[in-house]
Structure formats: structure tokens, C-alpha cells
Amino acid sequence: MNATLPASRSLPLSQLAPGQRAQVKAVDASSPIGRRLLELGFRPGTELRVVRRAPLGDPTTYELRGSRFCLRRSEAQRIAVAPLDFPTGDDPLSRA
């Protein structure tokens, strides 16, 4: 992940760091898993926040539309998002 990415460029949700906010850009509605993610509220236009990862690194909790959902990396990869801002600090990767 690179801090200089243009904000309009979308990337998989699984690549966001805890604390980051993003807007859902696309979910593949042709697969049953994609449709279920849509039904859980991961709809294009939805704003979400990466809350935290589990102690062992997977799954990750996301907050959206008043609920907190945990997704494993394999599901989060199916959701394309555009980051809205970075958490305080210059580079999210350098944060301890």
C-alpha cells in the first residue's frame, strides 16, 4: 500500500489498515458470496471504518451502517473500496 495513491483509485478492502475509513466502490453481485456481502450492507457508496484485526491477524472487524461485522481476508478481498483518509501519521505502515 502506498500513501501517494490517488484517492479515486480503488483497492481491496483487505488491504486497508485498522483506523482507515473507506467508501465501498464495487462488490461482485454475480456470485452468491458477493450478493450476501451486499445484503450485509457492503453496498457501493457505503462508508466504513476498519476497526481492528483479531489478535492472530485475521479476521478483521469493520464498522458500517451501525453494525460491526468481522470478515476474513478471503471475503474482504471481494470488496473494492476507495480510502477516504489516512489515520494520523505520515505512513500507515510505519505506525507501531
Partner 1 sequence: MSAPSTAIRLGLIGAPNSGKTTLFNALTGLRAKVANYPGVTVERREARLALGDRAAVVIDLPGTYSLEPLSPDEAVVLRVLDGELSAAPDALVVVADACSLERSLPFVAQVLLRGRPTCLVLTMIDELAARGGTIDVPRLERALGIPVLGVIGHRGRGLDALVRLLGRPEDWSRPVLPPPTDPIERSHWADSVFASVSGVRPGVHRLTEAVDRVVLHPIAGTLLFAAVMITFFQLIFAWATPAMDGIDAVISATAGWLHATLAAGLVVDFLADGLVKGVGAVVAFLPQIVLLFGLLYLLEDVGYMARAAFVVDRVMGRVGLEGRAFVALLSSYACAVPGIMATRTIPSPRDRLVTILVAPLMTCSARLPVYALLIGAFVPAVPVWGPLGLQGLVLLALYLIGSVSALAMAGLFERTLLPSSALPFYLELPSYRMPSAKLWFSQVWGSARAFVRRAGTIILSVSVVLWVLLHFPRSEPPPGADGPEAARLTLEHSLAGSAGHAIEPVIAPLGFDWKIGVGLLASLAAREVIVATLAQIYASSDADASLRAAIRADVDPRTGRSVFDAPTVASLLVFFVFALQCLSTLAVMARETNGWRWPAFAFGYLLALAYAASWLTHRAVAAWSGAA
What residues line the site for partner 1 (CB under 8 A)? Answer: 29, 32-33, 35-41, 43, 45, 51-52, 54-59, 61, 63-72, 74-75
Q: How far is the CB of 41 from partner 1 (least distance, A)?
A: 4
Nearest to 46 by CA among 76, 79, 86, 12: 79
User: Least distance from C-beta 38 to partner 1, angstroms?
Assistant: 6
Which helix (H) or strand (E) segment is 68 a member of? Answer: strand 67-71
The nearest distance, CB 4 to partner 1, in angstroms, is 29
> How many degrees, rounded to 5, is the angle at CA 83 between CA 51 and CA 21?
25
